[in-house]
Structures are given as C-alpha cells and as structure tokens.
Structure 1
Amino acid sequence: MSSNYNNKVMNELWNEIAPGYYNYGRISPDADVDKIKDLKQANEDMVQWIINKLGINKDSHVLDLACGKGMYTVRIAETTGCRYTGVDLNTTYLENECKVWANKLGVNEQGEFVLGSITDLPPEVKEKKYTHIICLGAMYYVHDKIDLFLENVANCSNKDTKIFIWDFVTNVDWSLCSELNIHLKMKFPIRPKIDVFQRFENSKLELTEYSDFTKYIIPGYKVMERECKKRDPELKKLTYPLMGKAFMNGTLSFVYYILRLQ
C-alpha cells in the first residue's frame, strides 16, 4: 500500500471503520448504506469471496504483493490454513501491522512478511513458485512500470498458478482526473483498460477473466464519505469522497483480472 495514505488522520479513520483493512470490501449494490455502520464485515465478505473464487485451501501458498497492513493475507491464512508470503515497501506496516495481526490470529508460523518492491522482488521471494498470487488495490501504483510488475508475477508462477489482481482503470483521459488526483497524488497517469489489456498481451501472462467490480464498492465509498464528513466536515484532510465521486460519475472503474502463465 502506498505511503500516500500513511498519515495519522487517515490511519485513525481506517482503524475505526475497518480495523486492519485498507479496502472497501464487497457490498451488494442494493444494500441500505444507512444500516452499514462500518466496513469490517464488507471486507470479511471479500476475504471469503476471494477464497472461493480462487479455490484457496490448506495446500495453497499465497503470495500477496503490496500486502499493506496484511489483514487480507492473515485472514485468508487463518480461514484456509494456507501458507503465505506478503511483500510491501512500508516497514511500519510490516512490523506494526502485518506481523502483529499474524501473531494475534495465530498464523505467524504459516508464512512471512518481507520488505520489498513489487517491481523488483527480493531474491527469497522470487526464487519460489506460488499456487496463488494476489495484488489488491495496488498495481496502479506501478502503472508506469507495469511491464516489470508483470514480469515479476510471471517469474513467481507456474502453469497452475492463479493470479488475481484488483486495480483501478480510467475511463477518461488522465488530464480530466485532476480532482481525483487531489486524493491519489499520482505522479503518472493511471492507465485505461485497453492499455492494461495490451500490457497483458505483451507479457508472459494470459488474461482468463475480467470483470468491472465498481458497483460492489460504491456502497463502501458512500459509507466512507459519511464517516469522513463526521470527522472532517469540510473534507480538508479526508479526501476519500473524491474517489467515490469518480467511481459514481464513471471517471474511474474498480476492476479485477484473473491471469495465468502462458
């Protein structure tokens, strides 16, 4: 997870509404947002959805790229008994969140968390093959180096590895996303879908499934907007609602890809 979000105000917000998570989860588009108090259950539901979607079980070894606070990694490991390897550049997350959660939920012996870049994996990570590779809401941070990222993913895969990526794609020219970028603070454009597809075609990976997931996270952004306004009525510090606005007006889409080694 990017250090863009690593400040006291934002971390306190997340710790109140989705302890250990840094995502909006999966909520039915028909849900009554007023009855959703926080995002913890939405994230727990997403954990189970990922497990079922990818067929993760006790014999799996999951590589979580840009694992952030590590809660998805830890909960998947706790639920299935699988082995895991989490990689992130944020030392604070690794030491104060990932390892703490792993110890608290009793899965520290099932895997490890490693400091490293998802475009230049540490040797102890890239020398192994994994049954599953996941990257949740982080690939867009390396859209300027997406070919390197995909090469790293391919090198950690064999023919049976399932690769699952959540990501953002733009539906308009990046020059029209200046308001959105007040929140994201990206130094380079987020790619449109057709561009990402082209990068897949040029890689060693084959796209086997694609879906626009936006409708399942918009309710989470509505919850986030409500909670942001409680804590920062003028939205001077908590800018998450700008993301929700982009999703709702179609500027940005939240998508997932499932790939495999060709």
Structure 2
Amino acid sequence: MPEPHQHQEAQVEAFYDHEDDVYRSFWDSSGSLHWGYFSDLSQTDPDAFPEASRRWTDLLLDRSGIGPGSYVLDIGCGNGTTAAYLARRTGCRVTGIDISGVRVGHARDRARALPNVEFRKASAALLPFADGAFTHVWSQATLYHVPDRERALDEIHRVLAEGGTLVLDDLVTPTPRVTDTGRRVVYERLMFEPGPSHQEYERALRERGFAVLDGSDLTPHLRKSYELLAERAQAAFPEHTAAYRQVTSAIDAHDVGWSAFVASKVTDRLEWVYEASGDLTLQEKYDAWSATYEEDLPGSYQDCPRTAASRLADLLGDRSARVLDVGAGTGLCGTALADHGFRDVTAVDLSDGMLRQAAHKHVYRELVRHDIEQPFPWAKASFDAAVASGVFTFGHARPPALAHITDQLREGGILAVTFRDDYLDSEPEIERMIKGLPLRLRSRTPITVFDDTPMSVLAFEKYGEATA
C-alpha cells in the first residue's frame, strides 16, 4: 500500500497532468502558473495579470542574488518557464523538478536548446540530490501542494550549500480556524490542508537553520490575481470563474494568504556576521538574526554587556545621567544599565530588526537607527556617558567611528567599550585612534566569552580637547 503522502502527491500529479492545458489557456500561455505582483492594486484590466506574474518573478530574481556562477534548484518547475528564464537572464545553471510528468515533459521540450538547464520528475519531500549541491533553491506556488511540507523544508536545507539562498512563495493560513466555505473552495479544491501562518512559516525556517532575510505578506496581490483570473476564465471556463470569485471571498475572510521569503542557510551565525565577504550588508545580517539573536549566543556572551554596564556604573555615580548605548542590539546592555538604576538611556543601532527586539525590553527612553560611522544626529556633548559592547570587532564598526562616539560625550563623560583581545592585537588603527582622542583610560577589565575568546572592557573618561 502507498504511504498517505504518496497517495496525496499522486492526486496532485494527476490533477496537474489533466488540467495543465486548461490553466495555460487563461493563466499564461507560456505555462507559468503562479500569482502576480501588481504595481497598482486598483487595476481592473484582466490582461494585466500576465505582466504582474512576470513582474513577481523579476522581483524575486532581484532579491535572490542569482548570477552566472549560481546553481539553482527550481522546485515545482511546472512547464519550465521560469527555469529557462533564470538561465537565459543570468547565465546560471538550473535543475527543475516537478511532480507532474506532463509538465516535466513540456519543460524538457522548452529547454532543448539550453545546455545549462535540465528537468527531472521528483518530489520536493525526497530530493534526489547530494547534500549542499545547490547555491540557490527557488520555489513559486508549490510547497503548499507537498503533503509533508516540513520534510520538504528539511530537504531544501539539506541540498543547499552553506550560505546558499532559498527564495520561495507559498500559500499560508492566516487564521487558526478556516471557515467551511474557505475549506471547500480553497483547501479541498486544491487538495491540501490548512498550514502555517506567515509568522509560523518564518519560525519554521529559522528553526531549520535559515536566516530569514526578507518576509513579505502578499495577500492583497493574491486577491487581485484571482479577481483578474476570474475575468480571464469567464468565456471558456465559467466554472473556474465561479470558483475564483469564491476564493477572493475566502481571502477576505482570512482563510488563506500568500507569503514570500528570502532566506540564507547559516549554521554559525556568529561567524556569518564576522565575515566581511558576501552580498549582504551588516545591517541585513543583523535584521535577519534579530529574532533569535539572544537564544543563538552562548550564555557566556552576556558577560560582555553586563561587565560593560557595570564598569560604566562604577565610574558614573549619577543614575540620572544621560547614557548612549551604541550598537544596542536587542537591548542586553540596556537591560544591564537599567539593573544599575539608569533610566535615561538612548539606544542606537544599525539594524531595525535588533531595535524592534530592544523595544520589547522597555529600558530605553529613545531608540534610533543610525550608522555610527556617520556623525550622530545630536549636538556634540549631548550625553554624560556611552557604552559600546560588541561594536568594535571584526567586520563591524571601523575605528574612526570611535571619534563620533567621543564627540557625543561632555567633558568628564564616561565611555565603556568592549574589545576582543585578538582584534586589538591585529588592528593597530584602533590604538592610534584612542591615543588621538581626548580619552583617559580609567580601567581595563578582562573577561572571557564564547568559552575561549579573551576580551577586555576598557573604561575611559573624556578630558577636554584632543591631543593629536
């Protein structure tokens, strides 16, 4: 007897084998079957749908980082339209898989003249490829059809190389309880069960070792797609028109939604943010890491912000002082400062995602996104003290940013900064910068984090004009 999941996949295969020509007749004659992204959601022209569908593919491609050296797995490749487009547009190599033998046959016919494109009949839940074989996995409007979607995500993670990129869109279930109508016109008609919400989907990706770089709720575009598709089907397939109009009602009832994600396979997030190479900015990496930052770091790391806050408190008796938390992250240092009685603390960080996490701690008077390599948005000498924990290290703020922080301190102000000892030894510029600033070293406190990484907390007092 076949497994239940195999039986369900066989049903999906039979459905698309039989219906492919029907869908091609009014979705997209080229065989592309996915929803569209509309530049104008008030659009009422049914002929706007194919352009919106192509626009969505282009938007995903722009976010993907796919280039000539990429090897892409297209899951749910259908008739091969997108796989061929990616190969022609970027010069990448593409392998497409689909559960429908009819569609794989069409895809092979389409790609006969493309030596860098191939197609195979396969299930996303059992990918016939080696670990780490692909730089990118691409999937549009497919994974909701996989009965064991969680296993498919595991398989995607397995076949992606470290640092590889997953680009996908999928149907989601925004509500924990779908209506009877929604179940009938969406889930039973398309042969799948209600699944995760947008937030649950994002969490599932993170739990599998993906750093989610972008997550978009595209539900309004899903609704517009079905609204226009209903008009496109009217003449030849009125039964589809009736079904699609019911789908728009189900979308309005929050029975179904559409989400897209771009994620990177990252095993060691700390090593990832220290890397200077790659296409992602430091801000993008921390935005992606923000939701799991504290649980991913070992407990010993929290000694770093705690010790920095403690050294600042030792030298600053006035708990009403105005303190600047530079590179505040998720608010670990701000929490430690609050434990010492400081209440007028301003957080600054490059990452919106990190600041959103910090806001939940309710220890800051103000949270500001700012690149500290640029002058601060306040007048000089606006703060009585500043702390910078985990800011001056490999792949992070460059030494000249220390001058901008110092400018924010009044005379006599206190600055507590953490440094990895190996960073201090390998970056002579930071020592030259400190010597050239009006900073007098008051204390140096050794700590060890990440089990074996020696660090130091240097506490300074600002004393007037620079000496160099």
Structure 2 vs 1, CA of residues 42 and 59 (structure 1 numbering), >3 Å: closer, same or farther?
same
Give the alignment partner of residue 114 of structure 1, picking from 106, 113, 120: 120
Alignment of 1:95-110 (within 5 A): 95=105, 97-103=106-112, 106-107=113-114, 109-110=115-116
Once the 2 structures are TM-superposed, how far is the Cα of residue 4 of structure 1 from its aligned partner? Answer: 6.6
Identity %: 18
Q: Which residue of 1 aligns with 2:153?
A: 150
Q: Which residue of 1 aligns with 2:383?
A: none
Q: Which residue of 2 aligns with 1:51?
A: 61
Q: Decide which structure has the larger Cα Rg and report it.
A: 2
**Equivalent-residue separation in structure 1 for 2:118 and 2:242 (angstroms):** 32
**Alpha carbons 2:187, 2:194 under 8 Å: kept:** no
Off by >6 Å, runs of 4+ in structure 1: none
Whose helix proportion is higher, 1 or 2? 1
* Root mean square deviation of aligned Cα: 2.5
Of 216-225 and 3-12, the range deviating more from structure 2 = 3-12
**Alpha carbons 2:84, 2:111 under 8 Å: kept:** yes
Of 244-253 and 9-18, the range deviating more from structure 2 = 9-18
Give the alignment partner of residue 137 of structure 1, picking from 133, 141, 145: 141
Q: Which residue of 1 aligns with 2:209?
A: 204
**Equivalent-residue separation in structure 1 for 2:103 and 2:43 (angstroms):** 33
Greater relative contact order structure (CA < 8 Å, 6+ sep): 1
Residues 161-199 of structure 1 show CA distances to partners (whole Å, capped at 9, x for unaligned) of 11011011112235423232342232x332223432342
Secondary structure of the corresponding residue to residue 39 of structure 1: helix
> Match of 2:108, as an amino acid?
K
Q: Which residue of 2 aligns with 1:222?
A: 227
**Equivalent-residue separation in structure 2 for 1:232 and 1:118 (angstroms):** 31
**Alpha carbons 2:17, 2:101 under 8 Å: kept:** no
**Equivalent-residue separation in structure 2 for 1:174 and 1:69 (angstroms):** 34
Runs (5+) with no aligned partner, structure 2: 1-8, 267-468
**Equivalent-residue separation in structure 2 for 1:258 and 1:236 (angstroms):** 32
**Equivalent-residue separation in structure 1 for 2:93 and 2:213 (angstroms):** 25
**Equivalent-residue separation in structure 2 for 1:13 and 1:141 (angstroms):** 16
Give the alignment partner of residue 160 of structure 1, picking from 133, 157, 163: 163
Runs (5+) with no aligned partner, structure 1: none
Residues 186-237 of structure 1 show CA distances to partners (whole Å, capped at 9, x for unaligned) of 2x3322234323422431323222110122333221111112232233x278
**Alpha carbons 1:208, 1:260 under 8 Å: kept:** yes
Once the 2 structures are TM-superposed, how far is the Cα of residue 78 of structure 1 from its aligned partner? Answer: 1.6
TM-score by length of 2: 0.49
Give the alignment partner of residue 28 of structure 2, picking from 2, 5, 18: 18
Q: Which residue of 1 aligns with 2:13?
A: 3
Give the alignment partner of residue 191 of structure 1, picking from 189, 196, 219: 196
**Alpha carbons 1:64, 1:135 under 8 Å: kept:** yes
TM-score by length of 1: 0.84
Q: Which residue of 1 aligns with 2:98?
A: 88
Secondary structure of the corresponding residue to residue 206 of structure 1: strand
